[in-house]
Structure 1
């Protein structure tokens, strides 16, 4: 029994010694692990940094986040106004569209034959223009209604123009762009075509000298345009400033438009459109239509044009539909707080619109116009007929309201007059000229 106790005591002493040794060794093991982890992390960081530098050199992407930021000059664009930089733009768009991010165009002048910036994209995309874009001056036919710059099927898109100029170099095209004679003007490129944009914004750009329309907006939803410039001489044929069709929730806020056709034209299917603080002229004014040229056109509903200046134009605000048209609708339209300066026919409803004599003259238009308010229109008329309301005899206008009109004409023909047909407008406020004192007739 005594020997057993001695052995047991020795065993206990051994256990205590071993425990002490293990405890002393634990910090050493932990330090070794920490050292290994630190070395591994540094190796990973170094590898990541190398990878980012390689990626940035190849794609123009800036490290530091999942979204791409691509600079077209890093990707090979020259920006010298002579070299076609399309390839660099296409590569940059592919990169930012794949992840969302920003396509950066530094200062310079970029010659691009055509650009197709198409979605859908994986995240919001911003195109930041610090330089100008220039199209080839040569006249080359394209597919009908094609754009020189096309932005298509993108959500949450922002174009920050920073006063960039998009020059279509259209002077040569205007000489061969007479639609009435050639019938081929639609084969020329539109400067900027925006198709299928949703929750997007375009700001701070100027389209100049487009070969056809400057800007065409089709099938867009919740699109805002701010600080837009359109610049072309009066002799630039068929260069509508901004055309909007089959779109819902477009806001055009602040624009200066000089061109050879309508400053703004509004096509079928346009709903909930706001046009505000637009300066128009030279040009053909701000127009709804023409409507009724094609079958199955969609209704135009909810258009407001306000706080605009229209100067030295062929028309002011107008609604135009073709005679002999299929049925259609244009309703809930407001023209208000608009100043006219030397405008031929400042207020015009023309349901016998027949340019070049190519229409079913004498056959009534079937486009129904209703709930139109024309309010607080003032200024000077370049022609004697300052207000002309010529509605369809087969589908008369209803609920057309005139309020607070003050338009004067100082020409040799005498003071301004108001001419009407197939309409009984709702009148309020002071009206100069007095409403509907003459019968409206087709023609200028």
Structure 2
């Protein structure tokens, strides 16, 4: 999973980003009328700035309309207190500059919504042109920090629908990396990144309450959905994953005083050819974090390397893990009606913390095979119950 940087507020925020603040009445604003050009070459950043300012001043629901064509955008921040709901309707393609350093050398964001309420982003394609950035990362050269595609910070009552983010430098959709978000819906989104592209998480959620992710197709080079600290009441349904890593709670315990993850559900989803299926992952070091009230249910695995896994001994290069034991307390996790095939012989791995064993783990109606034979399970430092048909045989 990508490590998410939390920048200090004392840093000069976004040196090269245009801040889009609402200054105070038609309701529809076509970016062409603000000077945007759909040629994919002319910088349309200021035109989007102007359309946002006009929409902010509308006393009725406002639509910022992006017609067909390719619109070049540099780093942009949309922020402000406004008078009514704002909808971005994107019928064209938003394109990042060809030079990956143009957006990756500043703040870690390409398109950022910050301190906004009641915003919808509906439409088509966000092309971040990340190929050259991925090549830089894999070459060992000195590369910029990179930029996430679309991010929401301190945002409430948000809808993201129908988007197709492609060629991302880092994560595609982030809710959020700096401040609390509440009541967010991400639906019918198609995320595409090469399976060898590093750190391209599909959707990252943290510091957020009441987020719903439904009907999405996610192909990435990292986690399909990554879930960070202080995520509560997250509902995920109808997710099609693969290739990529997993739907992952974690990595947790990056910080000692990290908040916990609670009331998370993933249901009616399919994993195809991914590295992992449903995953809970923490660093092997002290932490005040917790994971509880988690439900993974009604899931089909197709040739997945680790369909079910809890791994609490994450410590790359054995650095930064003084006790080699995770402080994260994992409890009340249910795995129900998970069927399909494993690409490895051990389909169920529970490798929990020796100092904080997993508790209240429940298996119900699990059937996972490997090469047309029952798969195997492995358990360490875990307690729980099993009911129904359990294949591989439970090791709880």
Would you say same fold, with TM above 0.5?
yes
Instruction: Spell out, residue by residue over 1:228-255, the C-alpha distance to the aligned partner (whole angstroms, 9 max, x if none).
Output: 1110111111100000000000000110
Q: Tell me the distance in 1 between the aligned counterparts of 2:311 and 2:259.
A: 19
Q: Tell me the distance in 1 between the aligned counterparts of 2:287 and 2:314.
A: 14
Question: Is the CA contact (8 Å cut-off) linking 1:352 and 1:361 kept in structure 2?
Answer: no
Question: Is the CA contact (8 Å cut-off) linking 1:177 and 1:238 kept in structure 2?
Answer: no
User: Cα offset for 1:318?
Assistant: 0.5
Of Structure 1 and Structure 2, the greater strand share is in 2
Q: Tell me the distance in 2 between the aligned counterparts of 1:396 and 1:270.
A: 22
Aligned to 2:381: 422
The structure with higher relative contact order (CA 8 Å, sep 6+) is 2
5 Å-filtered alignment, 1:350-361, equals: 350-360=311-321
User: Cα offset for 1:226?
Assistant: 0.9
Aligned to 2:354: 393
User: Cα offset for 1:70?
Assistant: 1.1
Q: Secondary structure at the match of 1:336?
A: strand
Instruction: Spell out, residue by residue over 1:154-210, the C-alpha distance to the aligned partner (whole angstroms, 9 max, x if none).
Output: 11111121xx1101110000022359x67966x211011111221121101010010
User: Cα offset for 1:428?
Assistant: 0.6
Q: Tell me the distance in 2 between the aligned counterparts of 1:436 and 1:361.
A: 29
Q: Tell me the distance in 1 between the aligned counterparts of 2:47 and 2:36.
A: 5
Q: Tell me the distance in 1 between the aligned counterparts of 2:309 and 2:360.
A: 16
User: Cα offset for 1:363?
Assistant: 2.0
User: Cα offset for 1:378?
Assistant: 0.5
1:280 matches 2:238 = no
Out of 171, 183, 186, the residue aligned to residue 131 of structure 2 is: 171
Q: Tell me the distance in 1 between the aligned counterparts of 2:251 and 2:138.
A: 18
Aligned to 1:93: 52
Aligned to 1:150: 112
User: Cα offset for 1:361?
Assistant: 6.8
User: Cα offset for 1:307?
Assistant: 0.5
Q: Tell me the distance in 2 between the aligned counterparts of 1:225 and 1:356.
A: 35
Aligned to 2:7: none
The CA RMSD measured in Å over matched residues stands at: 1.8
1:435 matches 2:391 = no
Higher-Rg structure is 1
Number of matched pairs: 365
User: Cα offset for 1:116?
Assistant: 1.4
Consecutive unaligned residues in structure 2, runs of 5 or more: 1-24
Question: Is the CA contact (8 Å cut-off) linking 1:354 and 1:361 kept in structure 2?
Answer: no
* Alignment CA distance shift 1:184-1:397 (3 Å): farther
Q: Secondary structure at the match of 2:354?
A: coil
Q: Tell me the distance in 2 between the aligned counterparts of 1:135 and 1:368.
A: 41
- TM-score w.r.t. the length of structure 2 is 0.88
Q: Tell me the distance in 2 between the aligned counterparts of 1:102 and 1:86.
A: 17
Q: Tell me the distance in 1 between the aligned counterparts of 2:319 and 2:251.
A: 13
Q: Tell me the distance in 1 between the aligned counterparts of 2:335 and 2:113.
A: 35
Q: Secondary structure at the match of 2:120?
A: strand
Question: Is the CA contact (8 Å cut-off) linking 2:128 and 2:169 kept in structure 1?
Answer: yes
Aligned to 2:280: 319
1:114 matches 2:72 = no
Q: Which moved more, 1:289-298 or 1:262-271?
A: 289-298
Q: Secondary structure at the match of 1:123?
A: coil
